[in-house]
C-alpha cells in the first residue's frame, strides 16, 4: 500500500514537472497557453473612447482585442492581442475621420489633424489646436462608404435630427477595407469649433438656420 502511494506521488510529481516545463517553454517562445495571438503596439494622437477588451476588426472580421491603453505625454499607446492569422504591415497608417448627419443626409467627411501629437481636450476646444479638412482629402470610394455607414448608424440607432459618426482609415489597405467605424455621437457639439456646424456651413447652411432647423424637428420620445 505504501509502495502504491509512493508510486502515485512520484507519478504526480513527474506530471507536474512536465507541465511546468511545457508551459515554461511556451512562455519563453512568446506563446500563451490556449491562444495563437501576438501583440502589436500602435500610437495614436487620440483613441475615441477605445478601452481594454474592445474588439479589433480587420476588414470587418474580428481578429483580436484591445489589451492595454496607455496615455503618454504627447500621444496614446494602444496594445492589441491579434490573431496570428492576421498580417498587419509595419508601415500601416491610421486616419481619423468624422461624418455629420442632418436629417436623412450625410453632410460631409472631415479629416482631423491635431497641431500637436496628442488630440486632447484642449486641442479639441482651443482655436488652432487641430486642423479640420472639410471635405477630407481621401479617395471618393472611401468618402462615400464613410457617409453610407454614418447614415446607416443614424437610422438604426434612431437618431434625431442630427448625429456625428467617427471613423479611422488605414490608407495602406486597398479600397474601403481600411475604414473602421468608431462611434456615433447622438449629441454632437455646437461650439464655434465643432464639426457638425462646420460641415453644415460648408454646405451653405448658416449656424442660426441649423439651430432653427433642429428646434423645428425636435420631439420627445417616450
171-220 pLDDT tens trace: 888 889 989 998 899 888 888 888 898 888 888 888 899 888 888 887 76
Q: 13 CB contacts (<8 Å, ≥6 apart)?
A: none
- Gap between the Cα atoms of 202 and 196, Å rounded: 10
Q: What angle do CA 147, 152, 155 make, to 5 degrees?
A: 125
Question: Locate cell 446607416: which residue?
Answer: 152
Residue 63's H or E segment, with its range, is strand 61-71
CA-nearest of 219, 189, 213, 6 to 98 is 189
Q: What are phi and psi of 44, to 5 degrees?
A: -130, 150
Question: Locate cell 443626409: which residue?
Answer: 105
The domain locations on the chain are: 37-83, 94-216
- Gap between the Cα atoms of 60 and 160, Å rounded: 27
Q: The sheet that has 162-170: what strands, in order across it?
A: 130-133, 105-114, 94-102, 162-170, 179-185
Confidence band, pLDDT 50/70/90 cuts, at residue 93: low
- The reply to whether CATH 3.30.470.20 applies to domain 94-216 is yes
CB of 56 closer than 8 Å to CB of 92: no
In this predicted structure, the answer to whether residue 162 has a pLDDT above a threshold of 70 is yes
Per-residue pLDDT, 97: 64
Helices (H), the chain: 2-28, 121-125, 140-156, 195-202, 207-216
Average pLDDT, the chain: 75
Amino acid at each position: 500500500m505504501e509502495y502504491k502511494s509512493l508510486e502515485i506521488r512520484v507519478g504526480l510529481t513527474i506530471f507536474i514537472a512536465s507541465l511546468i516545463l511545457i508551459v515554461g517553454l511556451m512562455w519563453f517562445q512568446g506563446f500563451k497557453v490556449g491562444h495563437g495571438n501576438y501583440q502589436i503596439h500602435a500610437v495614436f494622437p487620440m483613441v475615441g473612447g477605445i478601452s481594454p477588451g474592445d474588439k479589433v476588426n480587420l476588414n470587418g472580421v474580428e481578429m483580436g482585442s484591445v489589451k492595454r491603453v496607455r496615455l503618454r505625454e504627447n500621444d496614446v499607446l494602444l496594445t492589441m492581442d491579434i490573431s496570428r492569422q492576421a498580417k498587419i504591415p509595419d508601415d500601416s497608417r491610421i486616419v481619423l475621420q468624422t461624418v455629420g448627419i442632418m436629417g436623412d443626409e450625410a453632410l460631409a467627411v472631415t479629416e482631423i489633424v491635431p497641431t500637436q501629437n496628442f488630440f486632447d481636450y484642449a486641442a479639441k476646444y482651443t482655436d488652432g489646436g487641430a486642423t479640420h479638412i472639410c471635405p477630407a482629402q481621401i479617395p471618393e470610394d472611401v468618402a462615400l462608404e464613410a457617409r453610407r455607414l454614418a447614415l446607416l448608424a443614424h437610422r438604426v440607432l434612431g437618431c434625431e435630427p442630427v448625429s456625428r459618426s467617427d471613423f479611422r482609415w488605414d490608407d495602406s489597405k486597398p479600397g474601403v477595407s481600411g475604414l473602421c467605424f468608431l462611434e456615433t455621437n447622438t449629441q454632437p457639439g455646437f461650439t464655434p469649433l465643432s464639426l457638425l456646424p462646420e460641415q453644415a456651413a460648408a454646405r451653405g447652411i448658416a449656424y442660426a438656420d441649423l439651430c432653427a432647423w433642429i428646434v423645428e424637428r425636435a420631439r420627445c420620445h417616450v
